[in-house]
Amino acid sequence: MKEMQQNEGIDSQVSVNYPRVSVVVPARNEAKNLQHVLPHIPSFITEVILVDGHSDDDTIVMAQQLLPTIHIIKQINKGKGDALRLGFAACSGDIIVTLDADGSMDPSEIPKFVEALLAGNSFAKGSRFVQNGGSCDLTWVRHLGCLGLDTFASLLFRTRFSDICYGYYAFWRYCLDSVEIDCDGFEVEALIKIRMHKAQLKIIDVASMEHPRIHGESHLNIFRDGWRFFKTIVKERYKISTPSQLHAILRK
């Protein structure tokens, strides 16, 4: 069973002048995985917000046991996009970090994201495809799909998107003044990155190592959610607001 790296050395060097940092953790039926995530969040984090997506296990109870100060939000609707929207709205920090609850993202990487923002960037985007990044979880199908979507988005927006599908990132709270989140599914990952780019905010890649999910199965469906990512990229490029407009673009 994988254990996250300890980060006491990093924590001991954290300046008392660090800005307030909020961590948003979307979760659904992740009770068995939270012990590998919540206790390893760096001590300088100001608040942790867990958005529970209709779990029918002990996700909420476990989260409160592991981190008594955690803020729990219960979703009324469904989807990761909706969960992040709720979590972001509840944050009080100057910096917001997203972290999955399945154990695939190492909380000890959070300081790298924060430091990237303190260096003058607006949005620090985790990438498994840059130097020192990687994944122990991607199948060859998912790998090709991610690279394909990166290439497609990069061509459409005439920039370089690295790992547009990955959900580990951090940003200054003020970014939300320029970036609206109005989708509900996993495609939110592409939506946020594209809209950060369109808002001309300063974006930097941060190398990240993805680990295998520890318990349970992923909630992501490769083909269904891949199609939703694709449609989101096209919509954002051509400012499409209706299904008929999207259909017309795809027929060209």
CATH code of the domain in which 219 resides: 3.90.550.10
Predicted confidence at residue 90, as pLDDT, reads 97
Token couple for 120: 């003058």
Token couple for 235: 């919509």
223 found inside a domain: yes
> For residue 59, with 0-12 CB atoms within 10 Å meaning exposed, 13-18 middle and 19 or more buried, which class applies?
buried
8 found inside a domain: no
Terminal alpha carbon distance of the chain: 49
Tell me how far apart the alpha carbons of residues 69 and 27 are, in angstroms, rounded to a whole number: 17
Q: Are 238 and 223 in contact (CB under 8 A)?
A: no
67 found inside a domain: yes
Number of compact structural domains in the chain: 1
231 found inside a domain: yes
Predicted confidence at residue 242, as pLDDT, reads 53
83 found inside a domain: yes
Buried b (16+ CB within 10 A) or exposed e, 73-112: bebeeebbbbbbbbbbeebebebbbbbbbbbbbbbbbbbb
Token couple for 184: 């509900």
5 found inside a domain: no
Predicted confidence at residue 17, as pLDDT, reads 75
4 found inside a domain: no
Q: What is the pLDDT along the chain (252 residues), one digit of tens a residue?
A: 344 444 443 343 444 578 999 999 999 999 999 999 999 999 999 999 999 999 999 999 999 999 999 999 999 999 999 999 999 999 999 999 999 999 999 999 999 999 999 999 999 999 999 999 888 876 778 888 889 999 999 999 999 999 999 999 999 999 999 999 999 999 999 999 999 999 999 999 999 999 988 886 766 667 787 889 899 999 999 875 555 555 555 555
10 found inside a domain: no
| ∠ CA 83-88-92, rounded to 5° | 140
Domain carrying residue 84: 17-251
